Structure 1
Amino acid sequence: MKMHITDLKDGDRLQSDLFNRAGLHVLAKGTSVHKEEIALLYRQSIDYIDIEPRVDSTALFGLDRSGFSSRLQENFELTVKGYQSIFLEALTTGKFNQAMVDDKLQPMLEVIDEKKDVVSLLIYFGQDDVNIYNHSLQVGLLSYYIAYWLGYSQQECVDVSKAGYLHDIGKSRVPQEIRNQSHPLNDEEKVELRKHTRYGYEIIKDSMSDERIALAALQHHEREDGSGHPHGLYKDQIHPYAQIVAVANAYVDMTAPDENGNKLTLLTVLRKIYELGFGVLNERAVQVLTRNLMPNFIGKKVRLSNGETATIVWTNPSDIFRPLVQSEQNFYDLSTERNIEITDVFM
């Protein structure tokens, strides 16, 4: 069946070998089409391809989208509640049960490991009201993916995820009126809040034996140019786990609404993180985050500043944060249409 490339679905298979206008072979018969292949078709100016008849996606994957979403929601809520219990235990006793961290976090990691479209997960998690509990879970999950993309072993990825999950546990020692303030903090309150990194290090050291996880709590606000806190460390002095958690924490922080309820789009946040990768945040962690998230934006719906709703169809290599999008009536190359902005990204 002949199909325009904008109507392709993830997993469609080519019915025959595909050649470009110059007669050069592009893709082989039977190739499974995903975001990368669709981007290749755009670059080759190929509009239509022949695909094999589609089969029911639930037969291929054994679990439909609503089923996955239900499991995701259930595990997300349980893991957030688990962190709340850990946080309250640290608040009342000064330490927590290490086994509870494993019991609450591991099932969530197993669920998200089935879902490689991390952008959809970030959009999904960002729909909830942000508080210290779901913020910590989001940082833990994104830290897991960054470690995976950096080539860490499975166990190391789990450990990095724990470090992200627990990075703010020291806030349990910060007065509630400071950590829950919705208005800007004064200088004295800022000094007190910054102590949460040292508090977190102490709580984790008293609760578990992994020094790396404790260092991530201590150092996740350090910056490679020495501008961070609490010790003003430079690049080589910051533990690799802390470098990863710092990137994940900065990303999740930027996706949260400001005091007026306004939120940056995920693409805008990713661009800001990318810029921080030049001397402030760890370059390798930032690069793998950018490189692995950008293809996931293809196929996502966006709202444009001109009022139209469109779909991202290609990430432009010359300006990766201003992609090619298709609305109902038009294609817009945002790398050249500089007067149009993406104001929201959604599923």
Structure 2
Amino acid sequence: MRIHVTELKAGDKLSHDTFNSYGLHVLSKGTDLFAREISKLFQHQIDYVDIDARPSEEPAIRTIESGLSPKWLPTVEPIYQDAVSGCEQLFMEAFQNGKIVEDDVVHTFQPLVDNFRMERDVVSMLLLLNTKDDYTYQHSVQVGMLAYFLASWLDYSEEEAVKIGQAGFLHDIGKCQIQEAILNKPDKLSTDEFETIKKHTIFGHRIITDSFGASLAATVALEHHERIDGTGYPNRIAGSDMHPVSKIVAVADVYSAMISSRVYQKKRDLLFVLKELYRMSFSELDPETTHTFIRHMIPNFIGKQVELETGETGTIIMTHSSEFFRPLIRVEERFIDLTVERSLEVKHVFM
């Protein structure tokens, strides 16, 4: 059956190969159409496609945008929780002994890599796995995962990306030596308390150096709160003196912290967080690293439901490579291109 692209539903299947007006092959016969594929049709300005007939008895497609969990969740959730528990054990080991065992790090982190390597919808993955409990340990796991993905996007080899992920995983290990009353304080930290928090970078560097010797992970633990404009801590070094991997973990660290609920902070909307990273890329965070992260995260919003500032709700159909935060949105039977409708903004992204 021939159908206009605006009438496509998630789960439709192409019955013929699809080409654009220049004769370029876009999608193959038999392709299952979901938000990402439909977006590709829009990008190539294809109006009509041929799809297999829809069986009347066909059950509703279970997708993230319908509010139901993706098929990978039951498999990866236990692995994620095991990693969080393993991280807690590493913190306890570091607190008690001042050292950690490298094999314990590998055995805790590697299952994440093995199971999440092919999962590219990082937005959904983090949101569905994130809970309000064990912030410090979840944050470490998330930063490790994000650092691994970001390193891959920056064209590091798989072996290098795994090492970078491990460094991200251990970046906050020095917090094991900070009092919980300060780490989990619900109110604003005093000047003295913030100075104490800052020391986790030095403590982490010492723990990892005592455990493994001079290493990438030790450098990252020391530098992940440094900023390219020299305003970070503990040594206020500038971007030219920061290790490139410290810049990767800094981006992952800020992103994970801002999307998470903490005792003193509510989690923030996803697009707001990426906008904040973009703003920080002109002063505090490395621009190339940050923009690479944003470019790869933004397409994951395709298919997500959003609320506009007008109160209308719709679905992101297409994202733009240059105007990151102004997607094409379908609201009922009409389309709103925020690159054209400049007065409109996305207020909230739903799962």
When normalised by structure 1's length, the TM-score is 0.87
Partner of 2:278: 274
Distance 2:212 2:12 in 1: 44
Q: Deviations over 1:20-74 (max 9, x none)?
A: 3xxx324356265676654443244433211357999xxxxxxxx7652111110
Partner of 1:323: 327
1:333 matched to 2:334: no
Distance 1:80 1:305 in 2: 36
Q: Deviations over 1:174-228 (max 9, x none)?
A: 1221112111100000101100000000001111245111000000000111111
Secondary structure, aligned partner of 2:232: coil
- Given candidates 272, 281, 284, the residue that maps to 2:288 is 284
When normalised by structure 2's length, the TM-score is 0.86
Q: Deviations over 1:142-171 (max 9, x none)?
A: 000000011111111111111111111101
Q: Deviations over 1:317-338 (max 9, x none)?
A: 4532021111225422233445
- Given candidates 312, 316, 320, the residue that maps to 2:316 is 312
User: 1 or 2 for the larger relative contact order (CA 8 Å, sep ≥6)?
Assistant: 2
Which sits farther off after the overlay, 311-320 or 33-42?
Answer: 33-42
Secondary structure, aligned partner of 1:157: helix
**Root mean square deviation, CA, Å:** 2.7
Contact kept in structure 2, 1:123 and 1:346, CA below 8 Å: no
Partner of 2:152: 148
Secondary structure, aligned partner of 1:231: coil
| Cα distance change, pair 95–37 in 1 and its aligned pair in 2 (3 A) | same
Distance 1:260 1:157 in 2: 32
1:18 matched to 2:16: no
| Cα distance change, pair 269–326 in 1 and its aligned pair in 2 (3 A) | same
Distance 2:162 2:37 in 1: 31
Superposition map of 1:208-223 within 5 A: 208-209=212-213, 211-223=215-227
- Given candidates 167, 180, 183, the residue that maps to 1:179 is 183
Aligned residues: 337
Q: Aligned AA for 1:171?
A: K
Superposition map of 1:49-64 within 5 A: 49-51=49-51
1:136 matched to 2:140: yes
Partner of 2:64: none
Q: Aligned AA for 1:48?
A: Y
Q: Aligned AA for 1:41?
A: L
Distance 2:243 2:103 in 1: 24
Unaligned runs of 5+ in 1: 57-64
Q: Deviations over 1:248-284 (max 9, x none)?
A: 0011112124667643211111111122222421122
| Cα distance change, pair 111–180 in 1 and its aligned pair in 2 (3 A) | same
What percentage of aligned pairs have identical amino acids?
36
Which sits farther off after the overlay, 203-212 or 151-160?
Answer: 203-212
